[in-house]
């Protein structure tokens, strides 16, 4: 057992470890190739290749940076200044423990795989913008992220959010959007996070952004699609005719990018507003009360229920960005604004606010998808922009007495299920204090490739907004061992 009371391993330690592990992985891959050759010769039985079965994706994003050490990569043998007060509990997956504050999810762990060796390998900046971008696109942040930090705005030449790639490469839905983001657009309007847009693919592939209401959790609105006041569908059609007349007088401006983008969204809005199918699928209140109570009638719970309804209606991708409840957080003295950015009072925020809500709604989502026969065709991903620092005490929030954890990009975890991914397993592991990957390290590009592979996307090429071929993701590889 390593001495966990010493200071955290240094990045140079981590680089040497990563190099060693990658060399070992290469040797293991050579061994696999040899075994396959022997199998071909009849000496060893050949294993059947895993076949992806995903058709849709639900991504649950724990906005703020979820603490891996206090959730699904606990370190009960580490010193108290690292491990904190939470205890692990056993799950339906033998040998895979979770935090004691996730008892409902523990009953669903046989459906889930947890990747405990995910890290940015010094390619991030340690701030939220870069963390969003890297994990949502699979591409390392460019130098502008380090220069501008939270002032780095989304750009048209950014790499696309993997969800928009899923929408782009999936068959067109006849009535519903290809990609839906709810219940918030992260960071908007002041610090809109890069990485959540189609960017190079073109604005026509952006998600439909849907707002959820913490005070009325079953009510969802799309600001760009809402009919104001007493506007009926008939009046909408009349307005559309008027707009067509006005548009004919503005053709000279269509070469302007902003005008073209506006027209694209306008066309999408009119198409969706007149659709009864759209209204029906977004009507979460139509679900039986028992179902809504199982998810928990919070805005995040209803968002996950809506995500199930959307994939049931064959929408290719739904992104649920966790929305913090500031009123509840303040009442519980949670210093993260109700989100997962737990610089102060990490353990109180988690035990009193975040984990109980997440435990209820996410376990319900997995259980519901499984019972409806949708889990095998739905890839489910839980991720965040970063993990949290192993040593307790952020100087900006009162140090050790503040009981918070700072940002930490060197090690984090992700949960995956469905789409051919084998549940009930943990892939890789971190060092004794959860500071760095210690076995089978992977990076965000590998997680992104794994999602694409689970959907059967092997040819990762698109045509960008300038009608040029675009190679979507050259770095990384799928984590085939999960399947």
Is the distance from CB of 443 to CB of 477 less than 8 angstroms?
Answer: no
Structural domain contains residue 291: yes
Checking if the pLDDT of 38 tops 60, the result is no
Query: Mind listing the pLDDT tens digit for each residue in 447-471?
Result: 999 999 999 998 999 998 788 899 9
Cα–Cα dist 347/67, whole Å: 10
Structural domain contains residue 155: yes
What is the pLDDT confidence band of residue 274, given thresholds at 50, 70 and 90? low
- How many domains does the chain contain in total? 1
Angle at CA of residue 360, ends 359 and 366, nearest 5°: 85
Domain at 417, CATH number: 3.40.720.10
Structural domain contains residue 398: yes
Structural domain contains residue 453: yes
Structural domain contains residue 48: no
Cα–Cα dist 232/149, whole Å: 45
Structural domain contains residue 363: yes
Domain with 207 in it:
55-224+282-463+477-482
Residue 463's φ and ψ, nearest 5 degrees, are -105, 120
User: What's the per-residue H, E or C state across 346-395?
Assistant: HHHHHHHHHHHHHHHHHHHHHHHHHHCCCCCCEEEEEECCCEECCCCCEH
Q: What's the confidence (pLDDT) of residue 169? A: 97
DSSP state letters, 414-436: EEEEBTTBPSSEEE-EE-TTSSS
What is the pLDDT confidence band of residue 12, given thresholds at 50, 70 and 90? low
How much of the chain, in percent, has pLDDT values that exceed 90?
Answer: 70
Structural domain contains residue 231: no
Torsion-angle region of residue 234: left (phi > 0), alpha (psi -120 to 50) or beta? alpha
Checking if the pLDDT of 344 tops 80, the result is yes
Cα–Cα dist 102/299, whole Å: 19
Checking if the pLDDT of 265 tops 90, the result is no
Q: What's the confidence (pLDDT) of residue 233? A: 54
Distance of CA 397 to the CA centre of its chain: 27
Is the distance from CB of 234 to CB of 189 less than 8 angstroms?
Answer: no
Q: Of 35-39, 249-253, 426-430, which one has max mean pLDDT?
A: 426-430
Residue 362's φ and ψ, nearest 5 degrees, are -75, -40
DSSP secondary structure letter of residue 18: H
Q: For the whole model, what pTM was predicted?
A: 0.84
- Bridge partner residues of 208 (DSSP): 180
Structural domain contains residue 233: no
Unique residue bearing structure tokens 């699904």: 72
């Amino acid at each position: 057992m390593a001495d966990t009371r010493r200071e955290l391993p240094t990045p140079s330690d981590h680089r040497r470890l990563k190099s060693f592990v990658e060399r070992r992985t290469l040797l293991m891959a050579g061994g696999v190739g040899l075994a396959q050759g022997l199998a071909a010769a009849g000496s060893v039985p050949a294993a059947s290749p895993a076949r992806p079965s995903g058709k849709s994706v639900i991504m649950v994003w724990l906005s703020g940076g979820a603490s891996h050490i206090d959730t699904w990569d606990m370190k009960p043998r580490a010193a108290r200044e690292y491990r904190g007060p939470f205890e692990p509990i056993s799950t339906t997956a033998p040998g895979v423990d979770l935090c004691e504050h996730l008892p409902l999810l523990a009953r669903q762990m046989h459906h889930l795989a947890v990747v405990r060796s995910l890290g940015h390998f010094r390619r991030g900046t340690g701030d939220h913008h870069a963390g969003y971008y890297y994990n949502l696109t699979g591409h390392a942040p460019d130098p502008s992220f380090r220069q501008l930090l939270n002032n780095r705005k989304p750009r048209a030449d950014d790499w696309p959010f993997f969800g928009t790639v899923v929408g782009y490469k999936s068959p067109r839905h006849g009535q519903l959007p290809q990609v839906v983001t709810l219940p918030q657009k992260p960071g908007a309007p002041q610090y809109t996070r890069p990485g959540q847009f189609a960017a190079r693919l073109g604005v026509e592939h952006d998600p439909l952004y849907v707002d959820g209401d913490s005070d009325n959790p079953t009510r969802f609105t799309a600001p760009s699609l809402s009919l104001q006041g007493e506007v009926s569908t008939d009046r909408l059609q009349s307005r559309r005719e008027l707009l067509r007349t006005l548009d004919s007088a503005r053709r000279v401006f269509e070469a302007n990018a902003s005008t073209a983008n506006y027209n694209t969204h306008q066309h999408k809005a009119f198409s969706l507003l007149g659709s009864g199918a759209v209204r029906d699928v977004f009507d979460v209140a139509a679900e039986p009360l028992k179902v809504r109570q199982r998810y928990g009638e919070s805005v995040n719970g209803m968002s996950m229920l809506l995500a199930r309804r959307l994939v049931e209606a064959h929408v290719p991708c739904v992104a649920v960005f966790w929305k913090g409840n500031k009123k509840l957080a303040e009442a519980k003295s949670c210093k993260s604004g109700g989100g997962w950015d737990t610089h102060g009072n990490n353990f109180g925020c988690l035990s009193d606010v975040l984990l109980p809500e997440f435990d209820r709604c996410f376990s319900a989502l997995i259980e519901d998808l499984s019972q409806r026969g949708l889990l095998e065709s739905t890839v489910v991903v839980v991720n965040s922009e970063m993990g949290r620092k192993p040593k307790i005490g952020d100087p900006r929030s009162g140090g050790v007495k503040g009981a918070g954890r700072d940002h930490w990009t060197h090690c984090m975890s992700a949960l995956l299920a469905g789409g051919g991914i084998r549940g009930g397993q943990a892939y890789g592991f971190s060092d004794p204090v959860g500071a760095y990957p210690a076995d089978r390290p992977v990076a965000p590009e590998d997680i992104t490739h794994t999602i694409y592979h689970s959907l059967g996307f092997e040819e990762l090429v698109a045509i960008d907004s300038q009608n040029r071929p675009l190679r979507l993701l050259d770095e990384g590889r799928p984590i085939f061992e999960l399947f």
